[in-house]
Structure 1
Amino acid sequence: MNTGNSFSSYRWVILALVVVCFCATFVTRFTWPPLITTVAPVLKLSMAQAGSYMSAFYIGYLVTQIPAGIIADKFGVRVVLAVSLMLEGVSTSSLAFTGNYEAGFVLRIIAGLGAGAVYASAARALVEWFPARERGRAFGLLMVAPSAGILISNFLAPTLNQMVGWQGAFMSVGTITFVAGVFVALFMRSNAPRENEKGSLTAGFTFIFQHKNLMLTCVAGFCLMWLQLAVATWANVYIKSIGFTVKEAGAVMMWYGVGGVLSPIVAGFLSDRLNNRRVIVLVSLALTIPLTLWFGYETSLTALYILSFSAAFASYLANPMLNVMVANYAGVQWAATASGIANFLYQIASLISPLVLGLVIDWTGNFSWVWWIMALGPAAGFIVMLNIKEEQT
């Protein structure tokens, strides 16, 4: 184990590991939306119940965010990551054998418990292994995972559904996630002493919750996540509702995934040069609002391809910037704990947004209000970001 805090070339292996791990958690969570129209009739689910499967995932996801961060800061990231991914893999595979709403709901909670421990550990690993001047690109590459998860799941889930059925799709995705956990157990290393063995949990929480800029950054992340999880959950259903096939809807969301994959990379490299991440977040949110509304009123397939790419590129510019800002505010000592708390607050939006919008769809019978409710998120986030002062690194 390397404890000298030197930034060796092995940091790129660590980066590859955490990106793959984080991506696997998004593939498991986003395998569900493309399969809603196939599985919902089989399990006799309403649209609100179908949306609640995403909310169920985030119940578990929220529960483990903060404890996982504390454990990772105290004892290191390798065991936390490996066990979490294996748990998520087993529970996702088990969805293939569920026969009712309640069983599936419980399994989605368990999958969320595993996934919830991943981000804080990944953030801790990057803070350990990358100097401040490279953290923008490191977090930018890490934040490729959410969009890559959407991209891969929108290709993989319909393809597997056609080849081996929806049960086979869940089993395949679960197996991939479990294998990712095995790779982490074999190759993950630490690059810093666990400083919190000398510090108290109370001191860490006091530091984090009294840090105004850190907490406002968390609120901005909540606002952004309100939009992003709503789009990921309901865009496929919307596109199908205006007359396109499941495959065409998946193709549109693949373009959304491509935009979201490229955007954090660009943002990360740009931020390391400009050293002004707050401005990038403000630009991201300002562009996202009109693009979201335009997407919700478009009915041309070609235009939907273009808009899905553009909307994703705009919104995902902000993700790595918010996460680097949190990590820099916290420093190495509290990196995982702060990241866990931040992601917990972000993901409260993930818990309620899909369910709220599912209820709106059930109530109105259409998507007329959905896109306006989604756009409220980045609009509020923009206002919050105006009140944040970034610490330069």
Structure 2
Amino acid sequence: MQKSAAPAIEVVPYRWVILTMMVACFLFTFIVRFTWPPLIPVVVPALNMKMAQAGAFMSAFYFGYIITQIPAGLLADRFGVRLLLALSLIVEGIATFAMAYITNFEQGFWLRVVTGLGAGAVYSACARSLMEWFPPQERGTAFGIMLAAVSGGIVLSGFVVPPLNTWFGWTGAFQAVGSFTVVMGILIYFLVKSSTTVVGGNMFQGFKIVFGNKDLILTSLSGFCLLWVELGTATWTVAHVKKLGFGLKEAGFILMWYGLGGLIAPMISGWLSDKIGHRKWIYIACLVVIAPLTLYFGSQQTLPMLSFVGFLFGVFSYAANPHLTIMISEFAGRAWAATANGASNFFFQLASMICPWIVGLSIDWTGTYDWVWWIMAAGPLLGIILMLPVNPENKAE
């Protein structure tokens, strides 16, 4: 395999500032995307929407999100990440703020598309930044901490959005989240910088490295299967729990436990992989547990068990995330880490766009949530099969 020409990484203390900013980027990107699920039971009747349309709002976000993945990755590899990340958060914040003024499904749908367009640069640019600043022996820890912000956003959304809705209504909840996201985008612009002047070559070289790599493609497709269950769960848990007879507060509490498990797990899993290696097999082990745990979670009826099983569900689901991102980044090398992660996230987010819509249709057709968990459990089973032939030693550096 072609080796990266990037120089050795100089380990300096400012890498922890960079990591903090990347965590902030991820945190706010996931808060804006998951501000919607806790508000589904409130906004759907207010705007006379159907549940399939509610799911389509999440699909709309990911429609915009996947469009910018590959272009954003190329731009981050060529020109750096600072301006790209700042603009991303500002666009997300403005579009989320504007959700407070929608009066019908169509307006909300297109605003969610714009929110997704703004968020599309975050994953690839953050991965590029950590590949620049952190040496291989610290990447599990760094990526684990950053990807813990995925669940951090879910936790905060479930914890903060319901009270915002109570205090200010659903319009005030969108306004508050949007405003804070814009402020964070401005801070990102002033605090983020690059550790190196190394950039990728021409885009055709990058496409050849990324799309000609069998291991990278199979890992990306497996990531599609992981995101299928992760984002489907995060989107529909609140509505499912309300269907069981609990209130919005209790539903948000259960989702908070799911997110808390996902907050802790990537940091431990990433650190462990730095110590013992075997990122591929840690990832596969997580998928083996996730599939039956999805069905078990969906079968629970009581608040204590929904919370406990939801916590375990979050632990094993999100423990898989850092290894997926690190393997993809290292298959491409530092020179093309953003392009590789943009391309792979394109595959990932197709699941995030399709799954909420399919689940919403199943609910509309059957009037129950009986098929929801079977649909989502199929994802990790296929993901295991796709990962078996992957050789994680085929690194570009």
Hey, what's the Cα distance between the residues in 2 that align with 1:147 and 1:329? 26
In the other structure, the counterpart of 1:34 is: 38
> 1:53-132 to 2 correspondence within 5 Å?
53-132=57-136
* Counterpart contact for 2:9–2:135, Cα < 8 Å: no
Give the Å deviation of 1:203.
1.0
In the other structure, the counterpart of 2:361 is: 359
Gaps of 5+ in 1: none
Pairs aligned (count): 389
Give the Å deviation of 1:362.
0.3
Give the Å deviation of 1:392.
7.4
Hey, what's the Cα distance between the residues in 2 that align with 1:233 and 1:195? 37
Give the Å deviation of 1:230.
0.6
1:272 pairs with 2:274? yes
Hey, what's the Cα distance between the residues in 2 that align with 1:279 and 1:129? 26
* Counterpart contact for 1:275–1:392, Cα < 8 Å: no
* Counterpart contact for 1:323–1:339, Cα < 8 Å: yes
In the other structure, the counterpart of 1:256 is: 258
Hey, what's the Cα distance between the residues in 2 that align with 1:150 and 1:28? 10
* Counterpart contact for 1:76–1:194, Cα < 8 Å: no
1:238 pairs with 2:248? no
Hey, what's the Cα distance between the residues in 2 that align with 1:4 and 1:391? 19
* Counterpart contact for 1:208–1:214, Cα < 8 Å: yes
Write the letter of the residue equivalent to 1:156.
V
In the other structure, the counterpart of 2:4 is: none
Give the Å deviation of 1:6.
1.6
In the other structure, the counterpart of 1:307 is: 309
Hey, what's the Cα distance between the residues in 2 that align with 1:367 and 1:259? 23
Hey, what's the Cα distance between the residues in 2 that align with 1:175 and 1:66? 28
* Counterpart contact for 2:24–2:149, Cα < 8 Å: yes
Write the letter of the residue equivalent to 2:210.
I
Deviations 1:297-316 (A, max 9, x none): 11011011100000110111
* Counterpart contact for 1:4–1:191, Cα < 8 Å: no
The correspondence for 1:176, drawn from 160, 174, 180, is 180
In the other structure, the counterpart of 1:153 is: 157
Write the letter of the residue equivalent to 1:313.
V
TM superposition score normalised by structure 2 = 0.96
Write the letter of the residue equivalent to 2:45.
P
Gaps of 5+ in 2: 1-6
Computed over aligned residues only, the root mean square deviation of the Cα atoms, in angstroms, reads 1.1
Hey, what's the Cα distance between the residues in 1 that align with 2:153 and 2:232? 15
Give the Å deviation of 1:385.
1.4
Secondary structure at the aligned position of 1:291 is classed as helix
In the other structure, the counterpart of 1:21 is: 25
Secondary structure at the aligned position of 2:335 is classed as coil
